[in-house]
Amino acid sequence: MLVTKEIYYRMISKIISYTFRHKKLFTTLIILLFTYMFTCFSKFSLDGYPHVIKRINYELNKDNSKIKLTCNKCFTLNVSYLINNKSICKNDAPDKTIDILILISTVSDHFETRQTLRSTWLNYTRKNTANVRYVFLLGDRSDYGAQMSDIKENAKYKDIIKGSFIDTYRNLTYKTILGLKWAVSFCSTAKFVLKTDDDVYVNIPNILKLINNKKEDLDKALVGHCTSIQAVERRVSSKSYIPKNIYTNDMYLPFCSGTGYISSMDLIKDIYKVSINVTFFPLEDVYIGMCAKVLSAKLIDIKGFKSDTSKRNHCILKDKNVYTIHNVSSSELKYIWTSFCPGL
């Protein structure tokens, strides 16, 4: 039987009228409707990622040697600088060199943490006038008070780089790539780049010795706490959760922990250049590992780059074989900095 528009609308009208007269049925339909809408939203939002992420495809190869990571200009960093300090790497003398630029990932409300870093191991930069320079990397917050606080802090210290993306854990890749972009654009004369986080103790004297002793090894390599075997996090409750429809393999490609890795400026330029054609991934250290894979760059694991330790002595952290240590509180960092260690 052919259903005309009039018959169709009459049927819909009767259904709606009947539904309103029966409250339980009406409530049930509303619940079903919202459930359906939520399911659709979850499907298209892809677990809260900043944009729709293209699935990373794999060929059937157990050793990951044929993972298809590249795409055609699928990741463009359409981010502007909300705060920029273009002159951090400018030298007042032509013979001055910048041995290393340190990119420190942080967030707006970690002001006290940044203050602790400025008063401890960042002292070696002599307020960004020495052979070591640094910047703090921030994203944006909707909180007007936080925005004003960032502007006020930067007016005093002039060491903040802030991008126009929302500052969330899932957007750390944006923050890191913004840092690489800034390094290439405004500090390209630096010989090496160290990426780290604001809860990390960095032994700058040891870092400088490392890059001086291993210049050739570091030319086309990432150096840090690097791993070739790490399972993908599948627990939904974890902040590092990656669903199967985004990353089908159960093991990551080799990568270096984002808590601290070093590379030559030449490789940083290559990573930034190739990133536009590497599928976006929300875990920044894994993403940099993907870029390294595309470039056939080496990853060198050095024990002195430690992501964490259960027991640590403040003098051991000043040892010549320690480069970085993760999960250091401000109070512990101050204690490390001020403690006397004979022979060190």
Q: Give the range with max mean pLDDT: 50-54, 66-70, 330-334.
A: 330-334
The reported pLDDT for the residue numbered 198 is 97
CATH 3.20.20 fits 81-338, yes or no: no
Task: Please state the rounded mean pLDDT for residues 19-46.
Answer: 48
Distance between CA atoms of residues 154 and 91, nearest Å: 20
Q: Give the least confident one: 54-58, 122-126, 170-174.
A: 54-58
Q: Give the least confident one: 99-103, 163-167, 202-206, 214-218.
A: 214-218
Ranges of each domain in the chain: 5-45, 81-338
Count of helices and strands (H, E) across the chain: 10, 11
Per the prediction, the chain carries an average pLDDT of 82
Q: Give residue 32's pLDDT band: very low, low, confident or very high (50, 70, 90).
A: low
Task: Please state the rounded mean pLDDT for residues 114-123.
Answer: 97
Task: Say if residue 101's pLDDT is above 60.
Answer: yes
Cβ atoms 180, 264 nearer than 8 A: no
Task: Please state the rounded mean pLDDT for residues 230-252.
Answer: 88
In DSSP notation, 284-329 reads HHHHHHHHHHHHT-EEEE-TTEES--SS--TTGGGSTT--EESS--
Give residue-wise pLDDT tens across range 192-223: 999 999 999 999 999 999 998 877 778 889 99
The reported pLDDT for the residue numbered 167 is 94
Q: What is the pTM of this model?
A: 0.80
